[in-house]
Amino acid sequence: MARAYTVHTDAAAGDEESTAERPGAADGRTGRGWRAPGIWRRGIVLAVLAVLLGATMALHARVPNAVGNLGSLVETFLPWFGLGVPVLLVGALLRRSMTALAALLVPVVVWAGLFGGLLTTKAAEGGDLTVLTHNVDAGNADPRGTAEALAESGADVVALEELPTRSTEVYEQALAEEYPHRAVLGTIGVWSRFPLRDTAPVDIKIGWTRALRTTVVTPQGPVAVFAAHLPSVRVKLDAGFTAGQRDDAADQLGRAIADEPLADVVLLGDLNGTMNDRALASVTAQMRSTQGAAGDGFGFSWPASFPMARIDQIMVRGLEPVSSWTLPATGSDHLPVAASLTLSD
């Protein structure tokens, strides 16, 4: 009996040692390892979420605007949808799911197709004309410091938006030495090293002047410059993404640009929307973004404390973007953005 009992104990020990050596069984969860057949059956929910993430990015233009302008809201922050990939990756690894890992290829490929080109610099040296736009913020506590920083930027043409009446004279005085030519209408102003002519307001149907058009007479030839500040948008729980007034103003601005007879056209301004936002199509469809063509990175400009979207735009028609960049923060809640351009022949 004692001999039989000893043999039984050795066999049990052997079984335990064998079990401990089997993949995925060391923690008592047989079949939970990466070599188990279950790796293709686990993580279905994560896989579905990955595919939905990729589909939303790929088909963002089909997300309806009928309810709360959801489509425009998605398109405003579209680059940030890529953050869903590492979150789902962690979940796939914790679940040991090959299905979820394979599905993650969908959003990765879509995001790379949409924004991968922005991760490499396309900026070059040179250019005939350097332009800058900045929403200086009506509540800016240091308008003189902001103006002095812009004067040191090296830009040939500077467009300022959201100029408050009480501070306009401060900007004019601080910029006068570098920019002897200026045009200020309403809350919009353009300062230039070169003469300006044919300055006129652009009616974007909001009740006061927040857009203008002027001709900058450069040594290489005339350039039509539009400076604009489209109405703000808000995200409200009861109404969604409220952007109706901005959208209507964008349509008016787009018509004015379409009617411009000069070959070289520059748009500078705070459009309160990104190049991905379909609501700005009347403008973006006929002009090129300098950031997309010659920038370095995403060029996010708002909010200045933690930039999440590029709503301050420099767009061109006829001219060739050479480089595009953002400048250091001023006293505004926006970052200044600038671009170097080559005029058409």
Fold of 129-342: Deoxyribonuclease I; Chain A (3.60.10)
Could you give the CA distance from residue 82 to residue 78 in angstroms, rounded to a whole number? 8
Beta bridge partners of 183: 190
* Strand 211-218, strand 221-229: pairing: antiparallel
Give the amino acid at 143: P
- For residue 71, give the 3-state DSSP assignment: helix
Using 50, 70 and 90 to split pLDDT, how confident is the model at 178? very high
In the chain, domain spans: 31-119, 129-342
Q: In what order do the strands lie in the sheet with 196-201?
A: 196-201, 211-218, 221-229, 265-270, 312-317, 288-289
Position 9 pLDDT exceeds 80: no
**Could you tell me the pLDDT band of residue 25, with boundaries at 50, 70 and 90?**
very low
- CA 165, chain centre distance (Å): 30
Long-range contact pairs involving 66-74 (C-beta distance under 8 Å, separation at least 24) = 67/240, 68/239, 68/240, 68/241, 69/240, 69/241, 69/242, 69/243, 69/244, 69/279, 70/240, 70/241, 71/278, 72/233, 72/241, 72/243, 72/273, 72/277, 72/278, 72/279, 73/235, 73/240, 73/241
Percentage of the chain beyond pLDDT 90 is 79
Distance CA 73, CA 276 (A): 10
23: helix, coil or strand? coil
* pLDDT of amino acid 237: 54
What pTM value is reported for the model?
0.86
DSSP SS3 for 313: strand
Mean pLDDT, range 311-333, rounded to an integer: 98
